[in-house]
Amino acid sequence: MTTTTRHPIVAPRAKAFDLEAWVMRSLLGLGALWLVVGVVLPLFPMVGRSFQNTNGEWAGLANYGQYLTTPSLVQSFLNSMGVAITTTLFSVGLGFIYAYGLTRTAMKGKTFFRTLGLLSLYIPPLANAIGLIYLFGNQGLVTTGLFGLLPGININLYGFNGIVIGEFLYCFPQAVILLVTALNLTDARLYEAAEVLGASTLKTFFTVTLTSIKYGLMSALFVCFILAFTDFGVPKVVGGNFNVLATDIYKQVIGQQNFSMGATISVFLLIPSVFMFGLDRIVQRRQNALISAKSVPLQPKPNPILDWAMFGFCALMVAFIFTVFGTIILASLVKVWPYDFSLSLKNYDFSSVGGGGYGAYWNSLRMAFYTAIFGTAIVFTGAYLVEKGRGLNWLRSLTYLLSTVPLALPGLVLGLAYVFFFNNPIWRIPFTGLAIYNPLHWLYGTMALLVMANIIHFYTVCFLTGTTALKQIDAEFESVSASMAVPFYKTFWRVTVPLSLPAILEIGIYFFVNAMVTISAIIFLYPANLPLAAVAIVNMDDAGDIAAAAAMSTLIVLTSLGVRVMYSWLTKGLRQRSEAWLHR
């Protein structure tokens, strides 16, 4: 006898329409679609273009053949490699010492150095390059020895040296961030063990310090390499006749309108980046495995010699960063460098120079604002769906993967890919002879496309910030809500978003600052009626209006810093409150 006969059971209820599940599925589908359109699809016409001649006919490997047999082009590849490797070694080497000082010594002024060492995060590499011209260029302060007061030193700025210094200023803070994180993760007990075993300081350094931060160190190497290898702004301004891949792409596309060769060179820029990106992902995963383990933070012991040596070093680094930054501001305020050093705001009157002036600045502000608003909404929702969503696991994994890919795409490549993808009124589907009207063609030349390019360009870092924050939130909130029949989107709005507010604002700031300073992703995309501030710097520099370029750089940097400071100030109470919520 069975229970069923005595207690009839109502048959399983027909699967009722489940609104919540549908909302979840639709959002996940939309999120994946957004990334497919924003990241994956544009790459096809770009790579495809590298197999076509200038008339758009199939050319097989002809472009690659031409590339590899043109010595000047091959030289650019080697130049890019040389710049990237040199920059990486300097940034990570000096960045390591700086990070070591901040985490492992008892030197004075740590907070000061931590804040100011990262200042160059807010200075576009392009602006640093302008500053370098005023220091080491032909009329530079150092080159002329403060205009004859001292013996001058000419470092031959234009070319390899200038690019490396400029990229160094760009990569150094990134290396410091990664290495400080890695050094902070190391377990103090390892050092105690080494001490007990009587290992010498040097031996401890090699066996404990270096091995325990090896993933962070590798990550820093990969990231700096990618940044220096793909950057466009610095070589454009101080490269002189020293060609690199990024400037070659620009010349082919803007100068010679040779899109096919531009696409071919892009592939050469893309491949090493993707390779380094892949290595970085592997390494990051290993490091994340370490983070979860409980470790005891290290309390550095005072060591006067080391502490003061470190202090001197860090002060030197900060002084250098500040000198460059100060020089930009000074140059923007000087009437006629190097003849009339009286101060004036005349360089801030952009009406007599090209580039778009305050209109461009205003456009950049708008673009940065939209990027911050829409980017934050999209990225955080995406991170939420990936991290906290239920069901459709394959789609969530795919979305995660696609969200990390943009980090591997150099801005120039992304921009060029968008040109091919959005500018073409008709899409030809390869190998089928089929063609359809491009439903997204109307986006081309609009503010919306610029914003979209920026969101995708800076997507990965923001996405990872979002997922990290979400991981700290109790995994059962969604379950508890479900038990009370509260749909997930209500809990998202009432609980998850308020708890993640610091991370959300952080993402917004990151989008804003980067959209303000970027040129690589948008230089091919901006329409003539929408000039942009960062692009204006390039154009002013091209036209020889370097003082105006310095003024525009100053405006951008001050805007970014202003937004940052305002943010810290406005959200102080808020952050304290959510800190209290999260860490009881």
Residue number with CB closer to other proteins (340 or 474) = 474
The verdict on 393 binding other proteins (CB under 8 A) reads: no
Residue 394 binds other proteins (CB under 8 A): no
Q: Does 490 bind other proteins (CB under 8 A)?
A: yes
Question: In the range 3-32, which residues lie near other proteins by CB under 8 A?
Answer: 3, 6-13, 15-16, 18, 20-21
Per-residue buried b or exposed e for 96-109, using 16+ beta carbons within 10 Å of the residue's own CB: bbbbbbbbbbebee
Mapped onto helix, strand or coil, the DSSP state of residue 327 is: helix
Range 367-387 burial, b when 16+ CB lie within 10 A, else e: bbbbbbebbbebbbbbbbbbb
CA angle at 552 for the pair 516 and 130, rounded to the nearest 5°: 100
Among 477, 502, 567, 571, binds other proteins (CB under 8 A): 477
Q: Nearest approach, Cβ of 485 to other proteins (angstroms)?
A: 5
Which residue in the block uniquely carries the two structure tokens 């038990």?
A: 483
CA distance 210 to 450: 42
- Identity (one letter) of the amino acid at 291? I
Q: Does 580 bind other proteins (CB under 8 A)?
A: yes
Q: How far is the CB of 286 from other proteins (least distance, A)?
A: 23
- CB nearer to other proteins: give 10 or 293: 10
Q: Which is nearer to other proteins, 461 or 482 (CB)?
A: 482
Nearer of residues 7 and 294 to other proteins, judged by Cβ:
7
Establish if 482 lies at the interface with other proteins (CB under 8 A): yes
In the bound state with other proteins, the residue whose beta carbon lies nearer, of 3 and 342, is 3
Per-residue HEC secondary structure of 121-163 comes to: HHCCHHHHHHHHHHHHCCCCCCCCHHHHCCCCCCCCCCCHHHH
322 binds other proteins (CB under 8 A): no
Least distance from other proteins to the Cβ atom of residue 314, Å: 37
Stretch of 258-266, 395-403, 428-436, 469-477 contacting other proteins, by CB under 8 A: 469-477
How many residues of this chain bind other proteins (CB under 8 A)? 38
Backbone angles phi, psi at 509, to 5 degrees: -60, -45
**Residue 480 sits in the site that holds other proteins (CB under 8 A):** yes
Beta-bridge partners for 426: 437
Q: How far apart are CA 261 and CA 6, in angstroms?
A: 80
CA 35 to chain centroid: 18
In whole angstroms, give the CA distance from residue 139 to residue 125: 21
Judged by CB under 8 A, the residue of 55, 299, 483, 529 near other proteins is: 483
573 binds other proteins (CB under 8 A): no
Instruction: Considering the complex, state which of residue 115 and residue 479 has its C-beta at the smaller distance from other proteins.
Output: 479
Bond from prior residue into 300 cis (ω within 30 degrees of 0) = no
Ranges within 493-552 binding other proteins (CB under 8 A): 494-495, 498-499
Q: Name the residue among 271, 264, 230 with its Cα closest to residue 46.
A: 264
385 binds other proteins (CB under 8 A): no
Q: Which of 115, 476, 544, 572 binds other proteins (CB under 8 A)?
A: 476
Please, which residues bridge with residue 436 across strands? 427
487 forms part of the interface with other proteins (CB under 8 A): yes
What's the one-letter identity of residue 163?
Answer: I
Interface mask (CB under 8 A) for other proteins, residues 110-149, using x and -?
Answer: ----------------------------------------
Give the binding site for other proteins (CB under 8 A). 1-3, 6-13, 15-16, 18, 20-21, 474, 476-477, 479-487, 490, 494-495, 498-499, 578, 580-582, 584
